[in-house]
Amino acid sequence: MKILREKAENGDVESQFNLGIQYQDGKGVEQNFKEAVKWYRKAAEQGDSDAQNNLGFMYEKGLGVERDFDEATKWFHKAAEQGDSDAQFNLGEHYEKGLGVERDFDEATKWYRKASEQGDIEAQKRLENLVIIQVESPNEPFIPGGYKEILWPKNHRRKCYRMAFYVTFPLAMFFLWAKGYSFQTIATLIFSFFLKYKSEKV
């Protein structure tokens, strides 16, 4: 512990992060969230993505600092941009729920997808749930960003709907399948498409 502290005090990023972990978990030292935040911040400011994600978590939960979703989102974003899958998931959740940022399903989808592509199973579940949520929303196109332009014509006329269904709908479904969406989710989208537009006057 003494050596770890000395290295951390001398600016070693890994030691600063590990010292933060020990203070957060109370391993080898008395649990102290403020000290954990102190060392996470030092490592985070040197660009360590794990420390940035953990610092975001401390702000999100209000551990050792006043709860601040804006700060949490800021640090999650820094870590997510570096490819940290945990931070990508956390940032996706903030966009999904509107924590520290304006609620944005497109951004939530973007970050959940990035985490999912790194093997995060929970991110994949959230990604599929977002599709279902948008199916049920009367105000939101039900396909995540990147697919909306394919599937949701801006001119809401019968001709456009027909084109969307016969031409772009199968294409969008293929893209979703290629991105790893389950067949159950895709089947739900197809069924919802029929129900949604059968009931609308166009």
pLDDT tens digit sequence for 113-145: 999 999 999 998 898 888 776 655 545 444 444
From 58-62, 133-137, 158-162, the region with the lowest mean pLDDT: 158-162
- What structural domains and CATH numbers belong to the chain? 2-131 (1.25.40.10), 149-202 (no CATH)
178 versus 69: the higher-pLDDT residue is: 69
Confidence class of residue 186 from pLDDT cuts 50, 70 and 90?
low
The reported pTM is 0.70
C-alpha 10, offset from chain centre: 34
Q: Report phi then psi at 89, rounded to 5.
A: -65, -50
pLDDT for 194 beyond 90: no
**Residue 75 in contact with residue 44, Cβ under 8 Å?**
yes
Give me the pLDDT at residue 137, please.
Answer: 56
Q: Report phi then psi at 57, rounded to 5.
A: -65, -40
Give me the pLDDT at residue 62, please.
Answer: 97
Average pLDDT of the residues in 98-112: 93
pLDDT for 8 beyond 90: yes
For residue 180, how many C-alpha atoms fall within 13 Å in the half-sphere facing its CB? 16
| Arithmetic mean of pLDDT over the chain | 81
